[in-house]
Chains A and B, each alone.
Chain A
Amino acid sequence: MSTHNEHTPTHAAVPAGAHHEHDISHDPGLYLRTLIALLILTVITVAAAGVHFGSGTANVVIALTIATIKASLVALFFMHLAHDKPVNAIIGVGGFIFLGLFMLFTFLDVGSRVPLLPNNMPAMAQPTPTPTTLNPLLTPPPAPLAPAPSATGAAGGAAAGAEGEHK
């Protein structure tokens, strides 16, 4: 496969895996800009955590979206995926795709379950709180569990706590 050219001493200093790439992929300025973008996004995500976007779910979505943008910047420029051979990106993205499948089916399963444990039986008698939310990752505050903590938290008494137990 190798041509005569590649093995002449004059080419010895040419980077082994890089001479087919564009110069832009190894530009220190690009790395610095990436770092600055990452630091700015960090400030934004900390600031965004102090703001309440309607629901806790919205805050989680915003935080994870910013995290994903940061992770993409790291992968594209620090890990060279933007200018690298595609096979590496396929492997890396493949890892995330399989992780996504794992999350999807896990949360589909959990999200579609009706609580059948003995302590939850009274809750089933009420028609309203049936957990049908199928959003993976967005489980925290939605319908079934959210009202209960506030009720017990406000009353704080043992009686309210005992009722909350049946949730």
Chain B
Amino acid sequence: MSTTSIDLQPHGGGHGHEGQDPHFQHHFTTMEQQFDTSKIGMWLFLATEILLFGGLFVGFGLMQGRYPREFVEAHTYLQRSLGALNTIVLLVSSWTMVMAVHSARTNQRKKTVMFLAFTIVCACIFLGVKYFEYSAKFEEGLLPAKYYWHKENSIPACPAGPATATPTIPGCTHGYATFFAFYFMMTGLHGIHIVVGIALLTWIMLRANKGEFSGAYYTPVDLVGLYWHIVDMIWIYLFPLYYLIS
């Protein structure tokens, strides 16, 4: 704690022992240390996100090994063009996000709000496309596990016993049902992350609009940005695995 700064400015309210920035919390030595600490915390959270989705990717890989034929066939029910469109939408939204962080850092309030709004629009487009994809799958009966009814042959055609033995049995849909269980679980969890992202983006957009962020304090924008980029990164892996492999 430097005592010199107290001479420069009187005590601000709240935690502001430095009397400089109302966002400064007294248990940190400097604003920079406070910023770095928040960032480390965010990265620790992102590491848990990697592991959360990683577990699902491992499960997907295992089941693809078990039902190679069904998984490849089930891929063809997903519309590649819609997947590619969503990929582009998310990549562009990542760019607008990083531009929002940049604008906040360089004290450009209007630009910050504009880029955040554009990011939210992209997120909504993504969800809209996903809605069309999901409703088409619902109508065709391409549903997870026991709810799957797309093929005339349904699950009763599979023999009793461990599912391991079923991959080559005609009419048994274990493989397809498993594929769509993973599809809905992974893209659904990713979609929930998008919804949470929209809420976070709206929150910081409103704060940015009030002029709460500046080059001296833009931590929330930066951290939401990191979250948004990891959501984009997860989709970068989901897209080829679900839409492209054939």
- A2 adjacent to B30 (CB under 8 Å): yes
- B32 adjacent to A167 (CB under 8 Å): no
- B167 adjacent to A149 (CB under 8 Å): yes
Chain A residue nearest to B68 (CB atoms) is A140
B interface size (C-beta, 8 A): 83
- A38 adjacent to B91 (CB under 8 Å): yes
- B168 adjacent to A152 (CB under 8 Å): yes
- A9 adjacent to B36 (CB under 8 Å): no
Residue-wise interface mask of B (12-50) relative to A, using a CB-CB cutoff of 8 A (1 in contact, 0 not): 000000101100000001111111100110011011111
Tell me, in angstroms, the Cα distance from A8 to B162 when the chains sit together: 71
Tell me, in angstroms, the Cα distance from A67 to B238 when the chains sit together: 9
- B80 adjacent to A46 (CB under 8 Å): yes
- A14 adjacent to B215 (CB under 8 Å): yes
- B61 adjacent to A71 (CB under 8 Å): no
B161 CB → nearest A CB, Å: 7
Tell which of B91, B161, B164, B215 touches A13, judged by Cβ atoms closer than 8 Å. B215
Chain A residue nearest to B55 (CB atoms) is A102
Chain B residue nearest to A45 (CB atoms) is B240
Q: Given A39-B88, A99-B51, A91–B168 Cβ distance below 8 Å? A: no
B200 within 8 A of A: no
- A28 adjacent to B102 (CB under 8 Å): yes
- Enumerate A132-167 residues with CB–CB distance to B below 8 Å: 136-137, 139-141, 145-146, 148-149, 152-153, 156, 158, 161, 164-165, 167
Tell which of B36, B71, B98 touches A17, judged by Cβ atoms closer than 8 Å. B36
Tell me, in angstroms, the Cα distance from A152 to B217 when the chains sit together: 64
B207 within 8 A of A: no
Chain B residue nearest to A89 (CB atoms) is B43
Counting from the closest, the 3 A-B pairs by CB-CB distance are A139-B65, A95-B47, A119-B165
A23 CB → nearest B CB, Å: 11
Which residues on B sit within 8 Å (CB–CB) of A148? Answer: 167-168
A130 within 8 A of B: no
- B61 adjacent to A67 (CB under 8 Å): no
- A7 adjacent to B20 (CB under 8 Å): yes
Interface of A is mostly: helix
Residue-wise interface mask of B (154-175) relative to A, using a CB-CB cutoff of 8 A (1 in contact, 0 not): 0000010110110111100000
- A6 adjacent to B30 (CB under 8 Å): yes
A60 within 8 A of B: yes
- Enumerate A77-132 residues with CB–CB distance to B below 8 Å: 77-79, 84-85, 87-88, 91-92, 94-96, 98-99, 102-103, 106-107, 110, 115, 117-120
- A75 adjacent to B168 (CB under 8 Å): no
Which residues on A sit within 8 Å (CB–CB) of B98? Answer: 31, 77-78
Q: Given A74-B229, A95-B51, A32–B65 Cβ distance below 8 Å? A: no
B7 CB → nearest A CB, Å: 10
**Which of A15, A26, A96 is most buried by chain B, counting CB atoms within 10 A of its CB?**
A15
Q: Given A2-B29, A39-B88, A15–B216 Cβ distance below 8 Å? A: yes
Chain B residue nearest to A35 (CB atoms) is B95
B114 within 8 A of A: no
Tell which of B43, B72, B170 touches A152, judged by Cβ atoms closer than 8 Å. B170
B119 CB → nearest A CB, Å: 12
B74 within 8 A of A: no
- A13 adjacent to B168 (CB under 8 Å): no
Tell me, in angstroms, the Cα distance from A141 to B245 when the chains sit together: 12
